[in-house]
């Protein structure tokens, strides 16, 4: 599965599981990805009455960019994700 923003490949968290679940649906559980739902309503920035919310999955690096651009979202990233090298973490949200 590719990042909805930059189109980089995002590997499944469980490589044994692969790209799809046993029922054939897409495995959206991707390594360090962020699931984002954007929605609106009547009189709002976007009225998504007919289109529904936008659901995207973005990669780790795009999630870091999102949190830098909108610091209010960083609260959600507290306790983010594990890193392989605690002395050299991938971002400020890693533990």
Question: Read out DSSP for 11-58?
Answer: -BSSTTT-SB-TTS-B---BTT-EEEEE---TTSSS--TTT--EEEEE
Determine if 1 is a binding residue for Zn ion (CB under 5 A): no
Q: Which is nearer to Zn ion, 40 or 91 (CB)?
A: 91
Q: How far is the CB of 82 from Zn ion (least distance, A)?
A: 9
Work out which of 2, 6, 13, 46 binds Zn ion, going by CB under 5 A. Answer: 6
CA-CA distance, 20 to 26, in Å (whole number)?
Answer: 5
Instruction: Specify the stretch interacting with Zn ion by CB under 5 A; choose among 1-9, 22-30, 38-46, 67-75.
Output: 1-9
């Amino acid at each position: 599965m590719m990042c909805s923003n930059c189109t980089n490949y995002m590997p499944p968290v469980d490589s044994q599981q692969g790209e799809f679940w046993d029922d054939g649906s897409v495995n959206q559980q991707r390594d360090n990805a962020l699931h984002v739902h954007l929605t609106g309503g009547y009189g709002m920035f976007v009225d998504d009455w007919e289109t529904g919310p936008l659901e995207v999955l973005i990669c780790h690096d795009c999630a870091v960019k999102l949190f830098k651009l909108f610091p209010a979202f960083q609260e959600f990233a507290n306790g983010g994700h594990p890193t392989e090298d605690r002395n050299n973490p991938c971002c400020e949200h890693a533990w």
